[in-house]
Amino acid sequence: MLLRRRRENYRKSIQLNVLILSPGYPADMPEFTRGLAECGATAYGVGDQPVSALPDLVRRSLSEYVQVRSLWDSGQVISELHDRFKGREIDRIECLWEPGIMLAAELRSHFGVDGLTIEQAHRFRDKEAMKLALDEAGIRTPRHVAVDSIAAAWEAAERIGFPVILKPIAGAGSADTYRIDSADDLRAVLPRLRHVPSVSVEEFVDGEEYTFDTITIDGEIAYYNVAWYRPRPLIARSNEWISPQVIALRDVSDPELADGIRMGFDVIKALEFGSGFTHMEWYRKADGEVVFGEIGARPPGAHQVDQMKFACDFDVFRSWGSAMTRGSLDADIQRKYNVATIYKRAQGQGRISRIEGTETLQQRFGEHVVWNTLLPVGTPRRNWLNTLVSDGFIMLRHPDLDETLAMADAVGSELHLYAG
């Protein structure tokens, strides 16, 4: 406790120099960069984009930007930054993008900066190491085996028993993730994973899927969010006609969430996470048992951080910046709304040709809609397999959960985009 107070006093007494990796990408990163700058940090950005390609918000928020040839050559990045910042103190190194988590840890090791170590970062990036650590802590995880060959995949599937889930050891989200119900399914899917070096073969857990997202300060959770996937991502990713929903829940005191939230706290402790954002996924089975899914040392994607903002009417990005630089959220957080995001996928191929249902839905729910990012007519549709955001989304909110779900279902079934 005394050490924590000293850290907080240190943060409040000086202007911290913070190195942030990839400040311009993905979509949320400019806002996180702004959050650091508005909390008084001297923010230095590092990325492989040219400065001219950075969003204006990033350029305004950074004190300096270092363009490296490639973020994926860690030795070269470390060398370039060593030369660039020689004689200057770096107080924190932040990365909120999954592929850069290990690089950030290596940079902390090189510059002697507190934060997620290489060993800790490995447990967040490697799903097998992650689950082994949680198994040791007594946390319920799916039965799992890491494999790096076709023969080992067959052996693991037979040992665990169908259905199983196949997912990359170091993946993010639900990319390259498959449910396997039979030997025929496994035979069909394995060739699609040839580009993946190692795969986790896991017990399929049948249940509702939720998130547990945190801003954590020195190992203590200062804020958390619980969101509900409708349907679970594996189903949504397998059926193009579905309009996936993510619901940020207002009532986190619901008894059905209690065991999952408790598990989330235990996971943060078991993985020794210090300060930063985390995004965990977990399952609640029909019999009430909760099972861990996975966790990343970064915020959720697909604008789920914005859901938190609209749920509580607070600037999540600035609060994260305050947590990292001052040791406190610097915000009075009140859970006011459930927030639903409904992601839409156009029917057909090519450019968006028409959108049906928006006027009627706007008349019915307009006061509750907080964001509409649907692609305009004439825009090429996106590949729905590559992004949950797909062809845009509607985000709406309401204090009552049943009303929120009814509106979300109406948007899902009555709003249609067509391409051709």
Q: What is the largest CA-CA distance in the chain?
A: 64
Structure tokens at 68: 């490296």
Assess if residue 126 is contained within a domain.
no
- Looking at the fold, whether 222 and 326 belong to one and the same domain comes out as yes
- Looking at the fold, whether 403 and 389 belong to one and the same domain comes out as yes
Separation of alpha carbons 405 and 221, rounded Å: 28
The CATH number assigned to the domain holding 56 equals 3.40.50.20
pLDDT digit string, tens, across residues 56-94: 999 999 999 999 999 999 999 999 999 999 999 999 999
The last residue of one of the domains, among 309, 331, 353, is: 331
Percent of the chain with pLDDT over 90: 89
The last residue of one of the domains, among 305, 331, 357, is: 331
- Looking at the fold, whether 265 and 376 belong to one and the same domain comes out as no
- Looking at the fold, whether 341 and 270 belong to one and the same domain comes out as no
- Looking at the fold, whether 210 and 197 belong to one and the same domain comes out as no
Among 309, 305, 248, 310, smallest CA distance to 277 is for 305
Q: What separation in angstroms does the CA of 187 have from each of 59, 154, 164, 283, 289?
A: 49, 9, 13, 27, 31
Helices marked H in 190-240 = 233-236
Residue matched to tokens 């399929």: 204
**For residue 6, what pLDDT is reported?**
41
**What's the average model confidence in pLDDT over 392-420?**
98
The CATH number assigned to the domain holding 216 equals 3.30.470.20
Confidence of residue 171 (pLDDT cuts 50, 70, 90): low
**What's the average model confidence in pLDDT over 134-141?**
98
- Looking at the fold, whether 317 and 213 belong to one and the same domain comes out as yes
Higher-pLDDT residue of 413, 193: 413
**What's the average model confidence in pLDDT over 387-407?**
97
Contact 36, 42 (CB under 8 A): no
Q: Reply yes or no on whether the pLDDT at 153 is more than 70.
A: yes
Contact 264, 283 (CB under 8 A): no
Q: Reply yes or no on whether the pLDDT at 131 is more than 90.
A: yes
**For residue 2, what pLDDT is reported?**
39
Give CA angle at 320 (314, 324), nearest 5°: 150
Assess if residue 299 is contained within a domain.
yes
| 3-state helix, strand and coil shares in percent for the chain, rounded to the nearest 5 | 40, 25, 35
- Please state the pTM of the whole predicted model: 0.91
**For residue 167, what pLDDT is reported?**
87
**For residue 9, what pLDDT is reported?**
45
Contact 118, 105 (CB under 8 A): yes
Assess if residue 42 is contained within a domain.
yes
Range of the domain at 228: 206-331
Structure tokens at 321: 């910046």
- Looking at the fold, whether 43 and 156 belong to one and the same domain comes out as no
- Looking at the fold, whether 21 and 103 belong to one and the same domain comes out as yes
Q: Reply yes or no on whether the pLDDT at 420 is more than 50.
A: yes
Q: Reply yes or no on whether the pLDDT at 1 is more than 80.
A: no
Residue matched to tokens 């973020």: 71
- Looking at the fold, whether 45 and 157 belong to one and the same domain comes out as no
The last residue of one of the domains, among 97, 115, 133, is: 115
Contact 417, 410 (CB under 8 A): no
Assess if residue 360 is contained within a domain.
yes
Confidence of residue 5 (pLDDT cuts 50, 70, 90): very low
Assess if residue 62 is contained within a domain.
yes
Contact 227, 280 (CB under 8 A): no
- Looking at the fold, whether 212 and 312 belong to one and the same domain comes out as yes
Assess if residue 123 is contained within a domain.
no
Assess if residue 132 is contained within a domain.
no
Q: What separation in angstroms does the CA of 8 have from each of 2, 109, 323, 359?
A: 10, 22, 10, 51
Number of structural domains in the chain:
4
Separation of alpha carbons 105 and 261, rounded Å: 27
- Looking at the fold, whether 100 and 10 belong to one and the same domain comes out as yes
**What's the average model confidence in pLDDT over 111-131?**
95
Assess if residue 131 is contained within a domain.
no
- Looking at the fold, whether 210 and 195 belong to one and the same domain comes out as no
Average pLDDT value over all residues in the chain: 94
